[in-house]
Every structure is written in C-alpha cells, then in structure tokens.
Structure 1
Amino acid sequence: MERLTLLGLPLDPVDMEEALKRIGGFLQEERTHQVVTLNPEIAVRAQEDEALRRAVLEAELVTPDGVGILWAVRRLHGLSLKERVTGIDLTLALLRRFPGVRVYLLGGKPGVAEGAAREVERLGGVVVGLHHGYFQEEAPVVAAIQKAAPDLLLVGMGERQEAFIHRHKPHLEARVAIGVGGTLDVLAGEARRPPLWAQRLGLEWLLRVGLDPKRWRRAPRLFRFAYLVLKEKR
C-alpha cells in the first residue's frame, strides 16, 4: 500500500516481512536510510518538536509501532494493519534475516552497549563499534560511526535518537540507521520485555508505565494522542 498520513506524519503500512524486504533493499545502497518506528508518543512530540517532525517526514521507512498506531489507522483510514513493527522486534528480525550484518551500537548507560554487543554477536551480527549515549560532543561520535561504516546503526537514545540520526544522516556512512529506544537495554539484559501475553494483546506500554514510575510522566502523551486522532476524525 502507499504511504498513509497520520496526524500530519507519514506512515508506511508495512508488516514485519515487508519492512525486512524494504530494509534489505536499503542495505544494497551506498547511502544512509533512516527508519523510524512510529509510536503514539513520537507522533505527539512531533506536533511541537520541529527537528523530530523533519526526521519523521524525511525518513525512508516509517513503521507502525504500538497498538495506538494500529487503532488510529483503523479509525482514520478504515484499514486494519496486520501487526506492529517495533524497534526490538525489528532488530531481532534483522539479525536473523541478515547473518553477518555489520552493526554499530549507540546508546544506553556506560556498559550497556557492551552487553548488547555480546547478544548481537550471539545472534549472528558483527559489531563494528559501540558507544554509550551519555555524551555531549556529537562530532567525535559521528566520526567514529563514519569510520566504522556499519550496515546497521542502532541508536537507543530515547527522545534524542531520531533527530540525532536525521541531523547527521549525510555523514554517518551507515546503510540503515534506526532509533530503537530501550532495545539495547533488553539485549544487554538490563531490562526485560513484558510477558508474551502482554505483547500479543498490545499491553506492553501499559505494563511499562505501571511498573516504572519514571514513565508515568509520558502517559499523558498517550491520552493526547487519542484526543488528536478523535479530533482529526471529527
């Protein structure tokens, strides 16, 4: 299907298999392609954050991440998308689909990327570089990524990740760059995904908010997302 528009943002109505095929094509091209896994929080932040909005608008692939996005597409476009394509699931699927893929890991607290690197290599990837996400000067980090020239750049820097990729896109020398949120923490064993039943029911976000007080401040964005969708529908 052609790209959809959701709250003024692009969305590619792909399932996991389609996303993997698209990224497989990106890996054959000698330029950086940005992949955004769009969730309700990003959609709400992009209404006021121009750097984030530009990053999403100019991304080569924008996947549906979150049951809220599936609900909004059904509500606004009358389409039932097959599944979510989340950062963690896409990362694991890419490592399975493309054994030997050269990966650079950026993000997390000091030590997290190292732990994630061990898991990436266990899953068949080749880690060509890593760096924690707690840095002030961006130029040295960008230079290190550029020198490594990875096939796949995984950036787990929370609200900074999409704008960081977009800002430095011409200089990264990575074939594909994806903002993956807390994926590095999961790979490193620093965080656990909610139970499979919660994932299948699309309740991951609810359990995360309920179990982590630090996430409570993000909950209002989910309600604002629903409000914006219903407002647009009217």
Structure 2
Amino acid sequence: MNEPQTKFPSVKMYGINVSKMNMKETVQYLTEAVQHKETHQVITANPIMFMAALNDASFAKAMQSAELVVPDGTGLVWAADYVGHPVKERVPGFDLMFDLLKVANEKSWKVYLLGTTAEAIQESATKLKKQYPNIDFVKARDGFFTEKEDMDVVEDIRKLSPDLLFIARSVETQEPWIYKYKRELNIPVMMGVGGTFDIIAGKLKRAPKWMQKLRLEWFYRLLQQPSRYKRMLDLPKFVFRVRRDKDIIIEKK
C-alpha cells in the first residue's frame, strides 16, 4: 500500500506525516472526506504509538500509510515544536470523535461503533443515541473477536456502509487492523478511539480540565490503570529519542 499524499500542512517525523491542522480544520477536512466518500484512516497519535512504530516495522507501516495522523499526545506537540516545525495545537482523539459526531448529527450520517467489551459498547451506544438523535447508529459491536472472525466483522461493516467507523481495541491491534482492512471496508472515516467508549460508559473517567491544561492526562490515566506503567515508560524514552535525533527526525514538507 503506497504512502498517502497529504492535502494539508504536516510535519514528517520518523517517516510519519503528522498534521499541523487545528481541531476546526481537522473536522472540516474529515467532513469533506465523508461528503466525497474518500477513504481515510485517522490515527490519533501519541509518543507511545511512535515508540511502537520505531520498534515494530509493521506498526510503523500502518502509521506511515494512514491518510491522517493527528497529534493527540502532548509529547508530539512538544516534539514538533522542539525540532522547529510546530503544529497549531493538540488534537485530542476524544474531542475529535465528539466534534465529528456533532457534524454527523447535523447531517444524519451513519455511524458504526466497534470495540471494548459488549457491556461498555452497548452502554456507550445507548448514551450516544440519546445525545445525538439524528445519527443512525447502525451497530455497536464488542472488540473481542479472533483473526478468524475478521472477515465476518468486515463484511458486516461493509453491508451497513457507515460514514464513520470508530474502533476501540488495544494499541497493538487497533491501528494495524484498520490498516489491514481499510480498502475492503472502504469507509470515509475510520478512527481508532482507544479508551473512549470505556469513558462514555463510565468504566473510566477522563482527566479533569485542569489536568488536561497541565498536560497530565497520561498521569490521570495511569492512576486509574496502574497496569499501564510499563507502557508509560515509553514517554521519557520518546523524549530522549527526539533530543538525540533532532537533526535527522524531520523530513520537510
């Protein structure tokens, strides 16, 4: 699969195009993608995902081939600024999903929810249907299916033909799965949303505003899920790599 040509300002770090668009521009860009039926894999990237890409060629390929990578993690915003190619602002995946749902509600789009546990995804669907009554939520399905079941899931999504597909699976699975099947799915916007459905369902809480402003969402998540501590070790590793590679990290656009 060829690397996509960007139609927006971006900075290429470690071979991955990171959008410089702000939230409003990103939503407008993806709105037009839906209207023109243009397939887009949207990755809401953070330093942990970049470290995964640096250590795993297949994961790197999934990120390099994505039509849109936005700077979700504050570490990416810092990195772009550090190497002299700042992005306009952080584009949190949680907020991006809800901004897209607002547009979907205005335009009566179809949305498919995929991922997390059966209980959490159904609770999320129930809440979202109340909040966005004009959206046709075509299906809500849990993310616990095997590789042998992949094509059944893909065919189900294709049959229902949503405008937006939001997927919440593990970091190791989520982006590679979308990359593997995005041509078969042929959905205008396919976006990994991580723990978003668990937050909507009430299983997790999002960091309070003051912690978001201080860029401490990662720490709040760690307090709720201490088992993530090994993954969080990638944050200082990313800072070290960027400082070390400052002169070679960037490919100018």
TM range (shorter): over 0.9
Matches of 1:198 and 1:182, distance apart in 2: 18
- C-alpha contact (below 8 Å) 1:153/1:176 kept by paired residues: yes
| Secondary structure of 2:102's aligned partner | helix
TM, length-normalised to structure 2: 0.87
Task: Map 1:79-228 to 2 at 5 A.
Answer: 79=86, 81-99=87-105, 100-124=108-132, 125-136=135-146, 137-159=149-171, 160-228=173-241
> What is the Cα-based RMSD across aligned positions, in Å?
1.5
Contact between 1:104 and 1:127, CA under 8 Å: does it hold in 2? yes
Q: Which residue of 2 aligns with 1:29?
A: 36
SS state of the match for residue 178, structure 1? strand
CA contact (8 A) 1:131 1:141 kept: no
C-alpha distance in 2 between matches for 1:63 and 1:144: 28
Size of the aligned set, in residue pairs, is 233
Report how far residue 78 of structure 1 moved.
Answer: 4.4
CA-to-aligned-CA distance 1:4-56 (integer Å, 9 cap, x gap): 11223110111100110110111023342111111111111011222221121
Query: Contact between 1:14 and 1:64, CA under 8 Å: does it hold in 2?
Result: no
- What TM-score comes out, normalization by structure 1 length? 0.94
CA distance in 2, matches of 1:214, 1:208: 10
1:155 is matched by which residue type in structure 2?
I
Alpha-carbon distance in structure 2 between the residues aligned to 1:51 and 1:129? 29
Q: How far did 1:122 drift?
A: 2.1
Deviation >3 Å, runs of 4+: none
Unaligned runs of at least 5 residues, structure 2? 1-7, 248-253
